Structure 1
Amino acid sequence: MIPFDQLLLFILAALVMVITPGPNMIYLISRSVTQGRKAGLTSLLGIACGLLFHIVLVSFGLTAVLMTIPYAYAVLKTLGVLYLLYLAWEACKPGSKSVFETQHEMKADKPAKLFAMGIFTSMLNPKVAVFYLSLFPQFIHPANGNVLSQSLILGFTQLTVSFTVNFIIVMISAKVMQWFASNPKWVRVQKWFMASVLTGLAVRMAVDKGK
């Protein structure tokens, strides 16, 4: 078993990871404020499954293979960059609506689509895989027992932390729409700010070697 003090340190690292703004957080906020808590929670389930995908890869050593094959990593990173740029364009394109803008006339996405988009938002972010690959070895020691079991414990611990924090984010974000509805001048500012953040994340991901 992993020593308790080491597990607490890992939880702290996982907490820092989840509260750092990124694609997952932005997606959850956008869905929560435009379609409500139910849509936000559905999206959260998708994101959790995307994280589970990375956990399984790390636990069985497949992520290590991806990281050692330049072309495989390059493809995954490119998909992530393109997806972020697509979200940035959707945020600021002519005629687009802010994620914080009330959109009563907007056709709500179905649960299946929300769930799928949540999964892809997590899966197409190679930094998640890099985080797991670089952090897990620091807390896994053969002397503490089965390596696979330790990896799975770390993975599900991180997933629990992530789900809990993101759940709180969803519940809070659902109320943000009311404030923006009464302060419409901030909608335009938010749209370009969101597009800038997404573009910045895409550029950072593109230039980061991830090694």
Structure 2
Amino acid sequence: MLSVTELTWFAIASLLLALTPGPNMIYCVSRTLVQGRRAGFVSLAGVLLAFLVHLVAAALGLTALLLAVPLAFDAIRLIGAAYLLWLAWQAVKPGGTAPFEPRALPADRPGKLFRMGFLTNLLNPKVAMFYLSFFPQFIHPERGSVLLQSAMLGAVQITGSALVNATLVFGAAGITAVLSQSTGWLRTQRYVMGAVLAAIAVRIALTERK
């Protein structure tokens, strides 16, 4: 199984990724600013459920692939490394930005808020790519069930995402103002994320599997 050290590093990387503004964060914050914290948390609940769907699909897919074609696991690992390097370049390239601009949205009922949060995350291809490219870095087939290891990593990732986004929902107005106006924060975020993603990509590519 996974060691405490590995889970800790995975948690740190997941938190850094969760801090990068994306459709899920922007949607939850926008809903909070338009309709209040309750709407933001309902939207977040839908987002987290979609994370669970992505996690189950990725875990089952990796397990089935490993059982059917063991060598394919390394192929996925290398493709994932290339994808992470591309994300790192997107973060640090000249003119790259990390926008945090909540959209103006109409007020909706809780049921629709939940569904839209769910669909926003479920239909986000970057989430699926994250699981398929990031998980193989920390999964060790020789240590036991790939499904169980994926579940452990998923629990850490979803918990981290929930904490980050819940914090943003709770203090949406003040936090949004700081993030949108602080060019220093945005610049630092870009380079930290680029460095982390590049380091993980290199490690994925160079780590040998038994």
- TM-score, length-scaled by structure 1: 0.62
Aligned residue identity for 2:7: L
Q: Which residue of 2 aligns with 1:123?
A: 122
Aligned residue identity for 1:38: R
Aligned residue identity for 1:151: S
Write out aligned runs for 1:62-77 (5 A): none
Q: 1:81-124, CA deviations, whole angstroms, 9 ceiling, x for partnerless residues?
A: xxxxxxxxxx5xxxxxx46xxxxxx6x31100000000011011
How high is the sequence identity, in percent, across the aligned residues? 50
Cα gap change, 1:63/1:173 in structure 2, threshold over 3 Å: closer, same or farther?
Answer: farther
Q: CA RMSD in A?
A: 2.7
- TM-score, length-scaled by structure 2: 0.62
Inter-partner Cα distance in structure 2 for 1:50 and 1:126:
12
Q: Which residue of 1 aligns with 2:39?
A: 39
**Contact persistence 2:39–2:113 (CA under 8 A):** yes
How far 1:145 moved relative to its partner?
2.1
Q: Which residue of 2 aligns with 1:173?
A: 172
Cα gap change, 1:4/1:63 in structure 2, threshold over 3 Å: closer, same or farther?
Answer: closer
Are 2:75 and 1:110 equivalent residues in the alignment? no
Structure 1 segments (4+ residues) deviating >3 Å: 62-65, 174-177
Cα gap change, 1:176/1:14 in structure 2, threshold over 3 Å: closer, same or farther?
Answer: closer
SS in 2 for 1:60: helix
Q: Which residue of 2 aligns with 1:51?
A: 51
Gap regions ≥5 residues in structure 2: 66-75, 77-102, 178-210
Gap regions ≥5 residues in structure 1: 69-90, 92-97, 100-105, 180-211
Aligned residue identity for 2:51: L
Inter-partner Cα distance in structure 2 for 1:63 and 1:34:
42
Aligned residue identity for 1:17: L
How far 1:175 moved relative to its partner?
5.5
How far 1:3 moved relative to its partner?
0.9
How far 1:55 moved relative to its partner?
0.4
